[in-house]
């Protein structure tokens, strides 16, 4: 019994707890998940971005889209999507942020990290606006959020097996070869977005269960990152 009580922690837990940066990123991700789970406003903000599906023609779908974007609150969109990105994507930035931190001079580190995050999240916010458009059209064309989510899930499965995605994943785990932190963050965001966009699309198509979808996405991203680190070691 004593041996079982003193059983060692799993390797990934020890690895995370021994790295202050990794521990801080996972803690921020956990706080974002808890905030979304407990804060009804953040849940309703995301749901407000998704229309209730009704059978419609292609032209009606485009009309719905134009009407939606003309009345959209971009500040609320930025806050809701930014919270989703912090929860799901932030732990995956441990590698590039650590590399940037060690490559920068001490008095340039904080501004460099801020510029990197601005470029990274800027790409994701722009890309999320496009994914929201696709999600709205899918819901409008299929007449059901569930059907739209199923199509997005099928597309995600196909993208998971795509050779181009594999190349994007490799680039996502490789430090960008540019000196400017803002450009470095934006370039890393492009490769990360190209790898993981289906996860965000599924969350947009299924707003009522976006939290479980995002938790699954964070687990997939963390597993791929750890698997890539083991293979490159």
**pLDDT at residue 53 in the model:** 44
pLDDT in tens, 123-171: 999 999 889 888 888 887 888 888 989 999 999 999 989 999 989 888 8
Number of domains in the chain: 1
Contact 206, 213 (CB under 8 A): yes
Residue 184, domain extent: 2-232
pTM of the model: 0.79
**pLDDT at residue 109 in the model:** 85
Residue 182 has pLDDT above 90, yes or no: yes
Report the half-sphere exposure of 69 (CA within 13 A, side-chain side). Answer: 12
The band of 104, judged by pLDDT with boundaries at 50, 70 and 90, is confident
Residue 14 has pLDDT above 80, yes or no: no
Other Cβ atoms less than 10 A from the Cβ of 105: the count is 7
Q: Which of 15-29, 84-98, 105-119, 191-205 has the lowest mean pLDDT?
A: 15-29
């Amino acid at each position: 019994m004593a041996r079982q009580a003193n059983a060692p922690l799993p390797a990934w837990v020890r690895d995370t707890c021994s790295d202050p940066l990794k521990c801080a990123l996972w803690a921020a991700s956990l706080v974002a998940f808890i905030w979304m789970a407990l804060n009804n406003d953040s849940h309703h903000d995301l749901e407000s971005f998704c229309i209730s599906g009704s059978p419609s023609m292609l032209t009606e779908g485009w009309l719905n889209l134009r009407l939606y974007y003309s009345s959209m609150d971009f500040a609320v969109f930025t806050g809701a999507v930014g919270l989703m990105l912090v929860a799901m994507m932030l732990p995956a930035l441990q590698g590039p942020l650590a590399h940037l931190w060690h490559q920068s001079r001490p008095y340039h580190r904080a501004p460099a990290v801020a510029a990197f995050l601005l470029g990274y999240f800027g790409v994701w916010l722009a890309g999320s606006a496009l994914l929201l458009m696709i999600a709205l059209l899918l819901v409008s064309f299929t007449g059901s959020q569930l059907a739209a989510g199923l199509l997005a899930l099928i597309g995600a499965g196909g993208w998971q097996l795509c050779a181009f995605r594999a190349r994007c994943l490799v680039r996502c785990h490789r430090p960008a070869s540019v000196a400017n932190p803002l450009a470095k963050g934006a370039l890393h965001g492009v490769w990360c977005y190209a790898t993981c966009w289906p996860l965000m699309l599924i969350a947009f198509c299924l707003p009522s269960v976006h939290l479980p979808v995002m938790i699954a996405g964070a687990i997939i991203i963390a597993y791929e990152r750890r698997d890539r680190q083991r293979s490159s070691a």
